[in-house]
């Protein structure tokens, strides 16, 4: 797992040690463990001068929290005059996205030949408010690690006062792209597909929430899609039809914050829960649930969500926007529960995954896996059958050759015997006469 590539030396006569940034999303247990190790080494725990005023750690046994430094290493301190890492390590193929933060490029890494998505800030961030937002995304990615429904992070670095983040490339674009295309064609995701979307994103959110973090900006443009082609046939030949398996992944972690002691940056107002707007941060995980429900509603073909006004308030009062397709009352009831004005009534990610309405989607995923497994088993059975046929044919051919050889050998022996007799009959017998 790649980390934040920020490290500089301190021009301090007392010590020449490299500095590192403090990651505010690191679990407290790691911080406490680090402090314990420092105490065991009988070293005074304090923050380096360049990170603000020295803060001496408490010697008490009941210490519960290590305070972060008031300042962090800036992007400007990380810049250097070396050759551009972006141009030296990556070959840019195309621009695949553009947002508030910056542009995203599809690139091939020159060393491993794999494709990645490189996000580059639009403008220099060093010293700006946006710099901390950019670092927030890096911190969150680094702490979260790998999950099938969270976009994978590889590394990040600063270059010419711009932040660059190397992430997993998702070949299906974003859910926002799919919604726009479906809206143009008036061909929306079915209820089963909507349930699959809800289930997969909920699994990603459950993982994020399990680390005591919240996303705070769930929306279609932050849901990325990976498409994988799998055989959909009996004999799985090269010319057989393929079906596409879709995996949804949560990305863009620029608004992530901790559940405890949160530093909230409000996300898209169209998906923002009312309690967050009122600065009530006591149920932040449920704010993600609210936004997820409206994300699914958007994917169902509903009109674009309002940014404010009466309709905006109606949604915050628990009224679902009009959906132009017939969905089951049970599914609509679940979506309505997810946007309840009372955050405590909204289901948690764990409750959502176990909800009876989503069991169909879970069974669908399991059934799809079984279908693929059975296809592989059938393919292997056919290969075994063909192999046995080939072995039998080879054995028959070898037996035929041996039989022919035996017949030819027998015929040759008999012919030689007959020839010997004929030669013997024609020979002149020698007669010896003795005359006395």
Q: Which residues are catalytically annotated? A: 217
Sign of CA dihedral 337, 342, 345, 346: positive
Q: How far apart are CA 327 and CA 330, in angstroms?
A: 8
Burial of 338 (0-12, 13-18, 19+ CB in 10 A): buried
Contact 134, 254 (CB under 8 A): yes
Q: Cβ neighbours of residue 234 under 8 Å, at least 6 residues apart?
A: 375, 378
Q: Is 337 left (phi over 0), alpha (psi -120 to 50) or beta?
A: alpha
Q: Cβ neighbours of residue 197 under 8 Å, at least 6 residues apart?
A: 175, 189, 223, 248, 296, 299
Count of other CB atoms within 10 angstroms of residue 326: 7
Residue 243 parent element (H or E): strand 242-250
Q: Is 119 labeled as ligand-binding? A: yes
Burial 65-91 (b: 16+ CB within 10 A, else e): ebebbeebbbbeebbeeeeebbeebbe
Q: How far apart are CA 341 and CA 334, in angstroms?
A: 14
Q: How far apart are CA 248 and CA 198, in angstroms?
A: 9
Q: Is 96 labeled as ligand-binding? A: yes
Strand residues in 179-233 grouped as ranges (E)? 213-214, 223-231
Q: How far apart are CA 182 and CA 344, in angstroms?
A: 34
Q: Cβ neighbours of residue 341 under 8 Å, at least 6 residues apart?
A: 274, 316, 317, 318
Q: Is 103 labeled as ligand-binding? A: yes
Q: Is 92 labeled as ligand-binding? A: no
Strands of the sheet containing 115-121, edge to edge, are 90-98, 102-109, 115-121, 162-168, 153-159
Q: Is 101 labeled as ligand-binding? A: yes
Q: Is 100 labeled as ligand-binding? A: yes
Q: Is 99 labeled as ligand-binding? A: yes
Q: Is 102 labeled as ligand-binding? A: yes
Contact 291, 271 (CB under 8 A): yes
Binding residues for ATP: 96-104, 119
Binding residues: 96-104, 119, 222, 252
Binding residues for Mg(2+): 222, 252
């Amino acid at each position: 797992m790649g980390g934040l590539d920020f490290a500089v030396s301190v021009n301090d006569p007392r010590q020449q040690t490299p500095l590192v940034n403090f990651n505010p999303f690191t679990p407290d247990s790691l911080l406490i463990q680090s402090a314990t190790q420092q105490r065991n080494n009988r070293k005074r725990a304090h923050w380096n001068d360049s990170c603000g005023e020295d803060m001496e750690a408490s010697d008490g046994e009941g210490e519960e929290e290590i305070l972060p430094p008031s300042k962090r290493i800036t992007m400007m301190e990380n810049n250097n005059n070396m050759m551009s890492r972006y141009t030296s390590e990556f070959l840019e193929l195309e621009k695949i996205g553009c947002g508030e933060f910056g542009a995203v490029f599809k690139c091939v890494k020159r060393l491993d030949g794999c494709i990645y998505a490189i996000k580059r800030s639009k403008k220099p961030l060093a010293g700006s408010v946006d710099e901390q937002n950019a670092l927030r995304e890096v911190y969150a990615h680094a702490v979260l690690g790998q999950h099938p429904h969270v976009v994978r992070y590889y590394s990040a670095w600063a270059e010419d006062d711009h932040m660059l983040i190397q992430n997993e490339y998702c070949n299906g674009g974003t859910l926002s792209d799919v919604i726009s295309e479906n809206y143009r064609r008036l061909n929306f995701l079915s209820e089963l597909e909507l349930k699959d979307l809800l289930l997969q994103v909920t699994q990603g959110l459950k993982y994020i929430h399990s680390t005591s973090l919240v996303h705070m900006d769930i929306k279609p443009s932050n849901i990325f899609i990976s498409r994988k082609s799998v055989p959909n046939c009996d004999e799985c030949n090269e010319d057989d039809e393929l079906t596409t398996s879709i995996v949804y992944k949560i990305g863009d972690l620029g608004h992530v914050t901790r559940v405890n002691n949160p530093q909230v940056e409000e996300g898209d107002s169209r998906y923002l829960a009312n309690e967050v707007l009122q600065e009530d941060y006591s149920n932040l995980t449920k704010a993600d649930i609210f936004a997820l429900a409206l994300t699914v509603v958007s994917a169902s073909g509903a009109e674009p969500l309002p940014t404010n006004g009466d309709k905006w308030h109606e949604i915050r009062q628990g009224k679902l926007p009009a959906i132009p397709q017939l969905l089951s009352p049970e599914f609509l009831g679940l979506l309505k529960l997810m946007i309840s004005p009372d955050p405590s009534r909204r289901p948690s990610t764990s409750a959502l995954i176990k909800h009876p309405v989503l069991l169909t989607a879970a069974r669908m995923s399991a059934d799809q896996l079984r279908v693929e497994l059975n296809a592989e088993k059938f393919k292997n059975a056919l290969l075994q059958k063909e192999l046995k046929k080939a072995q039998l044919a080879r054995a028959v051919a070898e037996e035929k050759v041996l039989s022919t050889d035996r017949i030819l050998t027998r015929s040759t022996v008999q012919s030689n015997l007959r020839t010997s007799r004929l030669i013997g009959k024609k020979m002149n017998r020698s007669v010896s006469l003795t005359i006395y």
